[in-house]
Amino acid sequence: MTERKPLDAALRRFLDEQAAAAGQPGEMTDGERLAMARARIVRALESRTSIPGLPNHVETRDVALTGALTGRLYTPHRAIKPQPVLVYLHGGGWAAGSVATHDPFCRLLSDAAGVIILSVEYRLAPEHPHPAALEDTLIAVRWAADHAEEWGGDAARLALGGDSAGGHLAAVAANQLSAGSQPHGLRALLLLFPVTDHPSANHPSYTENATGYGLEANLMRWFWGQYAPGVSPDDPTVSPLRLQTVAALPPALVATAEYDVLRDEGIAYAEKLRAAGVVVTHVHAPDMHHNFAVHPGTVARFPQSDVALSRFVGWLRATLVA
């Protein structure tokens, strides 16, 4: 094993500041821990106005999909129509996060890549455990394909993506859609720091990055308990890395970070897709932590986030726009 690059020094200070501000949680009930996790992610909104060049000219509107499922459309300022569409699932351990918490990132990505984004307000655990969020993801993809033309989108250039738990939902949904008999039009799969395996796999990154890097191993295990209680870790609808056969997937970008609990399962999933014949672009940050390129606090502070975002944008444009 090669010696890994030290964590970015400025990031180390940032993470220490964040940990000090949060304090020591001590013993908590599940309800208290859930409230803390949701509040921590909501605090990301406080960083929105400090992001340089946040494109407020991107047109946004909230939409109703089916039933109680809603989402937010981001349309970049482009004269040429129709435009590619990315269905996006936010992170937050399946139990926290929202369209609002990921609004800054979706604005940046939509504007820079020249794609319409449908950000999905999927149901959260523990109130709605597995497979509720997955069902919402599948509904959103089909809704986007059916309605894209109404809002200037091109259903023939449809992508699916997400970060962290949202990357997990995108990975599982893409496999199900690609293995099914109904056409879906997926042309690209964007998996940013995705969850792909159950903690019982004991990937080394769970030990190496257990504490001190934002997303802690015990919190990730707790998220799993909220999302998929009683579900077998071998079930590929919760552990896509354990799929026996990978469907014929579109080109995929998988992003990972060295100081991330989810590092090894993300790398393994990129390798699994590549071995199955999927065209994979793997973007790895050797000195950063989980979801650094998505979280507004780190997007605003670190040049590595600009580099990663440029990679995501370049890939989306090459895959969907060119």
Question: Which residue numbers are catalytic?
Answer: 164, 260, 290
- What Cα–Cα distance (Å) separates residue 89 from each residue in 77, 201, 254? 22, 24, 15
Residue 116 and residue 73 in contact, taking contact as beta carbons nearer than 8 Å: yes
Residue of 231, 218, 219 lying closest to 95 (CA atoms)? 219
> What gap in Å lies between CA 132 and CA 128, rounded to an integer?
6
Residues with Cβ within 8 Å of 293's Cβ and at least 6 positions away in sequence, in order, are 192, 255, 285, 299, 304, 305, 308, 309, 312
Decide if 159 contacts 84 (C-beta within 8 A): yes
Q: From 208, 319, 314, select the one nearest 260 (Cα to Cα).
A: 208
